[in-house]
Each structure stands twice: as structure tokens, then as C-alpha cells.
Structure 1
Amino acid sequence: MKKLTLGGKIGRITPALAAAVMGLTITASPVLAADKLVKIDGSSTVYPITEAVAEEFQKAKRGAVKVTVGISGTGGGFKKFCRGEIDLSGASRPILKKEMEACKQAGIQYIELPVAYDALTVVVNPQNTWVKSMTVDELKKIWEPAAQGKITKWNQVNPAWPNQPLKLFGPGADSGTFDYFTEAVVGKAKSSRGDFTASEDDNVLVQGVSRDRGGLGYFGYAYYAENSKKLKAVPIVEKAGKPAVSPSIDTVKNGSYQPLSRPIFIYVNAKSVDKPEVKEFVDFYLNQAPKLSKAVKYVPLPDKAYALAKSNFAKKKTGTGFGGEPEVGVSVEELLQREGKH
């Protein structure tokens, strides 16, 4: 590169300076992908759908936008979201009062968008020949705080089961799945024994149960479906006298898989929607959610639910259709009514 003397100082000619000296107009180079970034974090349950959407979106944009998807759990995601660190947060339960307050104090407004339904799945090792089904009461007996250090063998849960060590695997305390399961089974969110192997990464739980004959765990249906050769899903009896129901797309749709069916969400920072790449990504997400949620073994919402979500997003309708309290057994119809309120 040639040297140019300016006011007695030696400097190197940059393309912009050369253009200025020659009286030329220089056009800015295209924005690099790193400059257009959509940041997402949150639920490991919502992750498979969001990751699939992110991959398709980045392909469609031919590298013009980068989408990052983290897994810090629903609670961990909301912490980042309410600090304004991310554009979207995946959540396997609705936002709670303390998170609503944190967002309010930080001036973060959010758009709540349900994207699919999940069948929270209880799994055992394939070598477990004794469990044909489990009642909600049996699950409570295993997971309630009073069980800690006491219920350590299968025959302590049901005398018909063997004197086999019971090894438990479950999501960590930052997980929305942990919140939902404890609310549905024990009767109070986050009320659980603590002596189990906990992880925000569901793949760690899959490995744990698949390697231990006495293992039992729970997580979103997608992780079971992906690993069905090395895990066994347990049919659940909601109440005495009711039949045992296995988790599946059909049993979630018809409402018979209770109490472990639940809607899953993305929350969008309303201010982030001003960024074209974020708006475009969320529009793409809502258009692709029916197909991609099915592809990763979740239950798509009815068409009218996605139409309502698109309408709410287009209007930038902020807030939540829930009251900030954990809830169990919200049907598709109930969800639609709530999300439709203004």
C-alpha cells in the first residue's frame, strides 16, 4: 500500500481515504451476519423447536442473520430476559409473578406466544419389567420432600415392586419442567426431594436413566421420542378408577393425558421487535411452528391458535394470559380464550 504524507505525518491510505482523495463515493459493505443477531435462551423443553426454527431461518437468510439458542432453563432464561440480555426466552410454563415484577422494574415489556403442547414424560430403564403404569400418588410418594433419604427402593413405593434401588433423575430448580411436574404431582411448585441427579440438560437425564436398571426420570416428550430405544415411557393413572394413559400426540390433543400435558411458550421482548431481524424471525417461527413442532415430536396447536398468536404479535399485544401462578391442566381451548383476551 502506498504511503501518503498529510501535514508532515505519514499514514497508510485506507480505501475510504483513497476514495475521498479521488472524489469518489464509496458504498458501505453489506452488514455482516455477526451484526444481525437474534439472541434466545431458556427452556430445554422448548429448545428442540426453537433450534429447528433457528436452523431453517438461518438457511433461508443465507447467513445474513445469526441466531443463538441457549439452554439455561425456563427460570434462567427469564432472568436473562428480564435483564434485557436476550430477545426471546423459551418457557415450559407461563411467566411467574416474581419474573413479571423483575421485567417491570427493568422496563421490559413482553409478548407471550404459545408455540406447541408438550407431554411431560416419566421414563424408566428398558430393563425395568415391573412397572406397567404409575399413579400420580405413587409419583408423589417418590418425589415429595418427605421422601428424601427414605424412599430409596422400588418396593417402598409399591410392595408389588422389587427390592431394587431407586435412582432418580430430574430437571434442576431453574427448569420450568421441574416447576410444572412438582405442581402437578406434589401439589406445590418447586416442592421436591433434593437427593436426585439434577440437570438443566435433558440429555444428561436420558443418559442417567438409560444406564441404571432402577432409574426413573422425567422430561419433555421430545427427549423421550428421540431416545425411545433406550428408555421406556410410563403410562400415568391420573386418579383411582381412571385408565392408565401413555404420553402421545393423540392423548395430548384429546386431553386424556393428565395432569402432565402443558403448553410451551416463547416470550418476545417488545423492544426487540423494532429490530427487523427479530420481527422476521418471530414471524418465521409462528409460520413454521406447526410443521417443526411435529417434526421434533411435540403437539402442534390448532390452526386458530397460531392465527391468534400471529395476530397478537402483529399488534404487539404485551402481557400474559396467566396470573403469575403455576397452573396445571390448561386445555387448548382454555389457552385460546386466555390468549385472546385484551
Structure 2
Amino acid sequence: MRTFSVNLKNLKGAGFLLSGALLLSACGGSGSEGAAANENLTGSIQIDGSSTVYPITEAVAEEFRREAPDVKVTVGVSGSGGGMKKFSRGEIDIVNASRSINADEAAAAEQNGISYVELPVAYDGLTVVVHPENDWANDITLAELKKIWEPGAQNTITRWNQIRPEWPDQEIHLYGPGVESGTYDYFTEAVVGKSHSSRGDYTASEDDNVLVQGVSSDPYALGFFGYAYYEENKNKLKAVPVDDQNDSNGQGAILPTLETVKDGSYAPLSRPLFIYVSSKAAARPEVVEFVNFYLDNAPELSEEVGYIQLPAERYQEQKDKFQEFANGVNQQAAGANQQ
């Protein structure tokens, strides 16, 4: 597996070479012709958003830089919400998102004349984690997570034995993504029942590495973040199996793994991860090349950094969808130029 932090380093892997046409065919190009085409590309691509999707996008960007060294690809981290704000204002070309765009963000993009295409790139399983020395929380139910995280728990549910009487009479220290995070939105909707609704007295950060550091250094901590950050740091964290007691199959507590996320048994904390590409960006050849490169390499690179690839046919569907979107953008531009 690749290692990553806020800045991925020393990434290795085989890049898939694409043809250099402005609008690629569904299958794309390969071999030396594709390499030559990418080497002739210039320009820049601005990406921002989810810290959860960041490892995949930065891994793809690192490989793309090898194939198109004259294209500057910048990947930032401001959370899904922060990235969507920049995206809807036209400040970035692509946004990483660990949730779907919401109504307010879509309205802001429309107001600014920005259309977009949503492209799922991988699956994730939100992972509940504790310190390795925690020998009591060997499983937890969704109802117990709600009891911990709901707004009414603030200044009320503060000790481990308030969750289960047999757990220690010790203060519980909570860590989680900030309110701009799509992971926060998804977790609160799945666990509390309402997106963007939780207690506020917890240590919050848009940088998942900060959360990892917090939980891994505190025996009485509990936190949550994307599966890749647990997988990368499992030597200093303990994942807690989650029991969805509303599950009619009665499977009991399930650990997030590549298998349980992929087969849907780790529900409802499994989710798709996305990139969104703006219409203005899709009119530029370097962006078209990059997005096709992304979808060709996402299956391998998503698993290298700890996420779960989509079925192969889903990636082809996304390539076809992006192709149609880019074609439409360029047809509109051609029509405008003729007027």
C-alpha cells in the first residue's frame, strides 16, 4: 500500500497512457503515442475538497505528472464543503467530495453559470476507532454512537460508563472531522439521523491525520474518519466493529474491511466517493486527459491507498458519462463561437 499524509510522497506505480485528442474516445489511447501526447500537454489543474478523497486524487495526480510533466496539478484539502464553495464560485476545476453536492451548493454553481458532472471513483467505509489499549469497546451499536454524538449529548454524555455500565468510569474524549467535511455530513446523517447535526464539544479537524494523532495518543479517545486513514495507521489504532441493530439479517457487529464495504455488509457506514468536474474545466484538453487518466487508474490506485474500487463496468460508465459531458461542453462553445 502507498503511504500518505497531507502531502503524498514517494508514490510509485504504472501510469496508463492516454491519447492526446481534446475529446478522447471511450477506450482512450495507450503506449508510446499516448505518452508523447501527454508530454505535449501544458496548463494547470486546480483541485480541492475532501481529505478523504485526497489520497486517491493525489496518487492519480502524482502518476499524471510523470506522463504530463508540463501540466501543473495542485491538490488541496479544505473539506467537501469548503471545496464545494470554491467549486461553485469557479475557483477550482475539480472538487473531491465524500458526499453528493447539496441543494445550496448546486444553486450557487448554477447562479455562477457552472454546470458539472459527478463521477464516483471509489467506495469508503467510515471507521470508528479507539486507542489500542482500549480493551472494553470491542463493538458498538449505531444506537450507542447516536447516544454519543447527537446534539443533546453535549455536556451530558461525557463518560464511557454512560454508554455501557460495565465500561470504565472515565471521561470520553471525542475526535471527528470538522463541519466542512463530507465525512461529518455523512456520519451525522447515518448515525444521528440528520446531516450536520451533532454535539459540538469534540476535537474537530479537516485534516484526518490530526484525528489519527489524537486518538492514537489518548487511551480514552473515540473518533471516526475514512477507512484509508485507519488502514494506513492500524498499527496505532483499533477499529471498533459496528452493529446495525436495524439490520434484518442480524449479522451483528461488522468490522470495515475491503470485503465488508464492497459487499454492503458494513452498512450504513459505507459510501461512494466522488470527484466533480466543472463545465469550464472540461473545455480544456489537460483536464480531459487528466479525468480520463483518473478513471483508468482509480481502480488500482484507490486500493493502493486503502479504499475499495468500483466494479470495472462502473468506471467505464463514468468514462462514457464524462465523454458525453465534455462533448456537450465543446459543442456549446462551438455554437457560441458561430453566433
Q: Give TM-score, length-normalised by structure 1.
A: 0.82
Write out per-residue CA displacement over residues 85-123 of structure 1, whole angstroms, 9 at most, x where no aligned residue: 000000000010000100000000001100000011000
- Correspondence 1:56 to 2:30: no
Alignment root-mean-square deviation, CA: 1.6
The 5-angstrom pairing of residues 294-305 of structure 1 reads 294-305=303-314
- Correspondence 1:290 to 2:296: no
- Correspondence 1:141 to 2:141: no
Select the residue among 134, 154, 164 that pairs with 1:128: 134
Q: Distance in 2 between matches of 1:157 and 1:103?
A: 43
Give the aligned partner of residue 269 of structure 1: 278
Q: Percent identity?
A: 61
Select the residue among 99, 108, 115 that pairs with 2:121: 115
Question: Is the contact between residue 140 and residue 241 of structure 2 (CA under 8 Å) also seen in structure 1?
Answer: yes
Label 1:171 to 1:56 Cα distance change in 2 as closer, same or farther (>3 A): same
Larger Rg: 1
Select the residue among 81, 88, 94 that pairs with 1:82: 88
Select the residue among 305, 314, 323 that pairs with 1:314: 323
The Cα shift of 1:270 comes to: 1.4
Give the aligned partner of residue 223 of structure 2: 217
The Cα shift of 1:242 comes to: 3.6
Q: Distance in 2 between matches of 1:81 and 1:315?
A: 21
AA matched with 2:60? V
AA matched with 1:51? E
AA matched with 2:221? G
AA matched with 2:67? A
- Correspondence 1:258 to 2:267: yes
Question: Is the contact between residue 49 and residue 84 of structure 2 (CA under 8 Å) also seen in structure 1?
Answer: yes
Q: Give TM-score, length-normalised by structure 2.
A: 0.82
AA matched with 1:308? E
Structure 2 alignment gaps of length 5 or more? 1-38, 328-339
Q: Helix, strand or coil: the match of 2:121?
A: strand
Give the aligned partner of residue 246 of structure 1: 255
Q: Distance in 1 between matches of 2:267 and 2:231?
A: 18
Label 1:162 to 1:268 Cα distance change in 2 as closer, same or farther (>3 A): same
Select the residue among 188, 191, 196 that pairs with 1:185: 191
Q: Distance in 1 between matches of 2:40 and 2:107?
A: 34
Q: Distance in 1 between matches of 2:40 and 2:93?
A: 16
AA matched with 2:79? G
> Following superposition, which runs of at least 4 residues in structure 1 exceed 3 angstroms of deviation?
32-35
- Correspondence 1:167 to 2:162: no
Give the aligned partner of residue 239 of structure 2: 233
Structure 1 alignment gaps of length 5 or more? 1-31, 319-342
- Correspondence 1:41 to 2:48: yes
The 5-angstrom pairing of residues 17-36 of structure 1 reads 36=43
Q: Distance in 2 between matches of 1:117 and 1:307?
A: 16
Give the aligned partner of residue 202 of structure 1: 208
Q: Distance in 2 between matches of 1:128 and 1:190?
A: 28
Label 1:196 to 1:34 Cα distance change in 2 as closer, same or farther (>3 A): farther
Question: Is the contact between residue 34 and residue 66 of structure 1 (CA under 8 Å) also seen in structure 2?
Answer: no
Give the aligned partner of residue 23 of structure 1: none
AA matched with 2:58? E
Q: Distance in 2 between matches of 1:309 and 1:33?
A: 25
Q: Distance in 1 between matches of 2:207 and 2:83?
A: 14
Write out per-residue CA displacement over residues 264-298 of structure 1, whole angstroms, 9 at most, x where no aligned residue: 00000112111111111001000000000010110
Question: Is the contact between residue 50 and residue 98 of structure 2 (CA under 8 Å) also seen in structure 1?
Answer: yes
Label 1:125 to 1:312 Cα distance change in 2 as closer, same or farther (>3 A): same
The Cα shift of 1:35 comes to: 6.4
